Structure 1
Amino acid sequence: MDDAGRQAGRGRRGRTWARRTGTRRAAAGLAVAALAAGGITAVASPAAAATAAATCSATAAQVYAPPSGTLTLAPGTVLACRRVPDGTTSWRSVTSYQVRYVTTDRTGARIPTTGILMVPRTVWGPAALPVVAYSSTTVGLGRQCAASQQFTGGLLGGFVDDIEITAVSDLLNDGAIVALSDGVGYLEGQTHTYVTGLNNGHAQLDMARAASRVPGAGVAKAPRVALAGYSEGGHSTLWAAQLAHGYAPELDVRAAAAGAAPVDLKATATNLNGGLYAGFLADSVVGLSTAYPSMPFRSLLNPAGIKATDDVRTQCLAGTLATWAFRRIEAYSTDHLTLEQIYAVKGPDGTWGRVIDAQKVGVGVGRPGSGATYEIGFPVLDYWGSIDDVIPPASQAAGAKRLCDAGVAVRRKEFALGVHATTIVAASSDVRSWLGARLNGIPDAGNC
């Protein structure tokens, strides 16, 4: 098929995402900029900074500045934003904004974090389009690695550490707005709180909230929303699905699609330790120790461990995987602790094992009205590769079963011969089709 044919086909798919809302949301979309401006707060106190926030003309330094003072603003409030080049491969014209916004950490504190809003141009206008709140896959812990920077196509872009360019670009091709959250911890001087469920689930939902508050973006005030992500982003997406009912009840969340999610970190750690992808384990160790600073960590490390974990904090994905390949966690503690021994180490938040188990997906979940801690009232697509070499397929299947047993409408799908790096591409068409149907109001009872 030539380029014109591909564009025509993608345009037809895009119409299915927008058709149901059409002109009845157009008026709301025209008012978005004015409504959003009222909720904008500057990163710094001078009037110039306030003007930059209200007009989406902040600098990169303002968007990624370290936290300052105590935040009391509502989650999803836009603190700063700036227009950036489109770094996707979408055939559509895409307007992109780096966004600094308010979210909630695992302790309940309001904190700033970052993401990128990507708005495709369609004949219906942005107010008619749904929002896919997307959580970034693993890109590394270094501040320069943030997906919101990689998706600009600039000096720090180029997708050297981001495998989701095709998946995100295809969503834009279909006529969906993508509100991509970095998760928590990519501001100046921070470390990303990798696989910390509450932090990154909240951040994903709050990026959906922030989408309609970005001045000039034209996103509807109350758009249809879907949640999506792969790998670490899949873990975040399942946490966002669990949290949505209680944390962001005003969002019109229609569905969640999570791929290759590390739903059980202990099972994943056993698989990673000493293997080709041990760098993901290193990211997990450093990310969780950042999210739980009161727990023993640095005191457990030998000099090699101190250097290695300090390096991880500055590296992107490729560097982390290269330096940690085939290394074992036992080599980095003073007492050569095994994973099981680390789980038994006690601290103010209990044992490390308890902290790690707190990130497990599908615990305390139920259908609406069940009284469960986390109620999920929309369908979930849970998918993985049959020979995933990073996240054990058996653990992913067990996670899906936990959701099924809780009464959630889960569509489970295993892609034959899919490994971790390829399943995101192999699944893209199915994921987009499934999300489009849910966003257009077609129910799915799942295949539990």
Structure 2
Amino acid sequence: MRKTFSLSVVAVVLAATVAGPAPSAAADDSFYVPPSPLPAGAPGDVIRFRASQAGASGSTVRAWQVMYRSTDALGQPNAVTGTVLVPRSVDPATAPVVAFAVGTHGPAFRCAPSEMVRIGALYEQPAVDDLLRAGYAVAITDYEGYRPDPKTTYVTGRSEGHAVIDLVRAAQRLPGTGLSRDAKVVFRGYSQGGGAAMWAGQLQPGYAPELNLVGVVGGGVPADLVQVALPLDGRKGFGLLAYSLIGLDNAYPELDLEAYLNDVGRAEFARMQREACTLELLVDYQGRRLADYTTSSPVLTPPWLARVAENKLGGTAIRVPVHAYHATGDDLVDFTQAKALRDAYCALGVRVDWQTYATDHITAVYTGNAAAQAFTADRIAGRPATSDC
């Protein structure tokens, strides 16, 4: 019964990201256009901000949309947007901050997570609500590239990890939030967001050592892009494979994805970037094959393999406790590579709390919330962490 309920909720909310009028209303929004050149500053500095709405969270939460400086996958400064939510019931000076890294939203500008938050169509809203009710500030990055001419860098680890980290910095520097720079911080996410949270955890000691990071939560993590991609060709998750190619190509221009595409591929991949949100990726492109869109496959060429290797998690320890979880019947993000990430972290001495669920990828968006919330509460309370290693 629970599985049926979860899937129906997902279908309704994903449909809202496609059919609702508000996302398309953002298509001409100049707020999302990065200034050129970027103003001088450091990662996490606020470029611009505006008051927003907390959507499904209503008037109990103060909300801001923010553009902030971050760092792309090549180490160059960039501008990223996101949302900061602070419950009105808490003293922000003592509130912990959870950087909530969302799952796949799709390449089109209308899919930007900050717009989904604003209109109440965020499909991970139950998890966000749990965090807000617990008295935590929540920082939700859009990741790099959501703008009227979108160039999102989907599944690109360093870009996503930096975006997660730097929104915490921006939230602490944002006028009016009152958040402390000493606040306890947790990185949390599922699917794309699980990968982003893990990357943020790996990068934080060198990139943002001043943050008071106490824990990392990652579910449904695409840790090894090769092992994730191989089962998607010709299956229902092909749209995610195609979007991954687009994301890597946007992050690393030398990959030159267009050179591998046939006429159909060029038209369809361009349409995907203009129009596709998560629902279209899963429905419109299911069963397609890379061979339908390419003259030759880029995925096994040396330039692509090198960049994919750079985006494999597990080569660096996370210094704080980690809660990792995955669905054993995951039909979109291979289970075995997630288990391999857990083993790699254990070998590096990471304290890993590992949990599995006998379900599929989408259902586990919800199934894993309770344990993730409990782990977050324990880390913020300073309780000793357990490890399954």
TM-score, length-scaled by structure 1: 0.78
**Counterpart residue number, 1:434:** 375
Partners of 1:267 and 1:72 lie apart in 2 by 40
Contact 1:71 1:111 in 2 (8 A): no
Q: Aligned to 2:33, which of 58, 62, 65?
A: 65
**Counterpart residue number, 2:288:** 327
Q: Aligned to 1:406, which of 342, 348, 352?
A: 348
Give the fraction of aligned pairs with identical amino acids, expressed as a percent.
34
Partners of 2:377 and 2:308 lie apart in 1 by 34
- Cα deviation, 1:318-340, whole Å, max 9, x if unaligned, reads 122222110011111124x3xxx
Aligned length: 361
The 3 A distance-change label for structure 1 pair 253 and 427 is: same
1:284-433 aligned within 5 A: 284-314=244-274, 315-335=276-296, 337=297, 342-346=298-302, 351-363=303-315, 365-366=316-317, 376-415=318-357, 417-433=358-374
- 1:71: how far off? 4.4
- Cα deviation, 1:186-232, whole Å, max 9, x if unaligned, reads 12323110000010100000011011111111212321100001100
**Counterpart residue number, 1:7:** none
1:245-284 aligned within 5 A: 245-284=205-244
**Counterpart residue number, 1:105:** 72
1:18-57 aligned within 5 A: none
- Cα deviation, 1:72-102, whole Å, max 9, x if unaligned, reads 3111001111111111347x70111111000
Question: Which runs of no fewer than 5 residues in structure 1 stay unpaired?
Answer: 1-59, 367-375
- 1:174: how far off? 1.3
Partners of 1:426 and 1:86 lie apart in 2 by 24
- 1:267: how far off? 0.8
Q: Does 1:201 align with 2:161?
A: yes
TM-score, length-scaled by structure 2: 0.90
Aligned-CA RMSD value: 1.5
SS in 2 for 1:132: strand
SS in 2 for 1:324: coil
Partners of 1:254 and 1:243 lie apart in 2 by 14
Runs ≥4 residues deviating over 4 A: none
Q: Which residue identity is paired with 2:195?
A: H
Q: Which residue identity is paired with 1:397?
A: K
Q: Which residue identity is paired with 2:118?
A: T
The 3 A distance-change label for structure 1 pair 62 and 310 is: closer
**Counterpart residue number, 2:61:** 94
- 1:398: how far off? 0.7
SS in 2 for 1:263: coil
- 1:247: how far off? 0.1
Q: Does 1:145 align with 2:145?
A: no
Partners of 1:251 and 1:109 lie apart in 2 by 21
Contact 1:103 1:111 in 2 (8 A): yes
**Counterpart residue number, 1:78:** 46
Partners of 1:405 and 1:216 lie apart in 2 by 43
Q: Which has the larger radius of gyration?
A: 1
Question: Which runs of no fewer than 5 residues in structure 2 stay unpaired?
Answer: 1-27
Q: Which has more helix, going by share of residues?
A: 2
Contact 1:179 1:208 in 2 (8 A): yes
- 1:418: how far off? 1.9
**Counterpart residue number, 1:443:** 384
